[in-house]
Amino acid sequence: AADAREAAASAPDLEALRALLERFDGCPLKVTATRLVFADGNPQAKLMLVGEAPGRDEDIEGKPFVGRSGKLLDRMLAAIGIDRTKAYIANVVPWRPPGNRTPTPQETAICLPFIRRQIELADPDILVCLGGPSAQTLLGIKDGITKARGRWMDYDTGTRRIQALATFHPAYLLRTPLGKRMVWRDMLAIERKLAETRPE
Ligand code: URA
């Protein structure tokens, strides 16, 4: 983990970080995954969203949120006038866990320095954690997502504070459509917060 931290800190920009992950052999998930799923969207965007880990479709395409969850995520963003030119999208873990299982705490810990560096380098104004695992890992929340969602928190990069919000993961919404009302509120809160931040 100290290796990963040092390596991640040494990446001067996002392309270097991606190249570093391509070479990194410290995460066992890399062995079973087809490829690295680093990011999609615009790294200059004010809004960054972070999910849990790639699924099957993402593993094939090499881009986050391109499967069914991704289609729903695109609709959530479209509701507030945002597409992938106005958002930067990544996952806590950049390799698909076998059978889409939840990443283990060890796997997550190994990947954490990289996603932290990715957030620091992208330097968004607003960070949105999609689902409980992302919120627990990045925001340190202990509550479940049902309790933690919809509240603004600070995400500390080490050099800067970023306003952060957790909301339901789109995969959860596919199973539990009733959650969509809450996510709608969260999307409006994100829209308002974006309007308050520095112009693009
Ligand atoms: N679920 C995630 O958390 N991330 C993806 O990229 C796809 C599905």
Q: pLDDT per residue over 155-168, tens digit each?
A: 999 999 999 999 99
Q: Quote the ligand 1 centre to 69 CA distance (angstroms).
A: 7
- Per the rule left: phi > 0, alpha: psi between -120 and 50, beta: everything else, 98 is beta
Q: Which domains does the chain have, with CATH numbers?
A: 2-196 (3.40.470.10)
Residue type, 100: N
Tell me: pLDDT of 144 over 60. Answer: yes
pLDDT beyond 60 at 188: yes
Q: In this prediction, does ipTM exceed 0.85?
A: yes
The pLDDT of 172-184, averaged and rounded, is: 96
Q: How far apart are the first and last CA of the chain?
A: 36
User: Closest ligand 1 atom, CA of 58?
Assistant: 6
Cα–Cα distance between 25 and 184 in angstroms, integer? 40
Q: Determine which helix (DSSP H) or strand (DSSP E) holds 75, and give its type and residue range.
A: helix 68-78
Quick check: helix, strand or coil at residue 156?
strand
- Torsion angle of alpha carbons 111, 152, 150, 133, nearest 10°? 10
Q: Please give the share of the chain, as a percent, with pLDDT higher than 70.
A: 98
pLDDT at 8 over 70: yes
Tens of pLDDT, residues 90-133? 999 999 999 999 999 999 999 999 999 999 999 999 999 999 99
pLDDT at 199: 65
Across 20-27, average pLDDT:
95
- CB 29 within 8 Å of CB 79: no
How many whole angstroms from its chain centre is CA 127?
8
Over 70: is that where the pLDDT of 1 sits?
no
Q: Is the separation of the CB atoms in 164 and 140 below 8 Å? A: no
Instruction: From 76, 91, 167, give the residue whose CB has the most ligand 1 atoms within 8 Å, as the site to mutate.
Output: 91
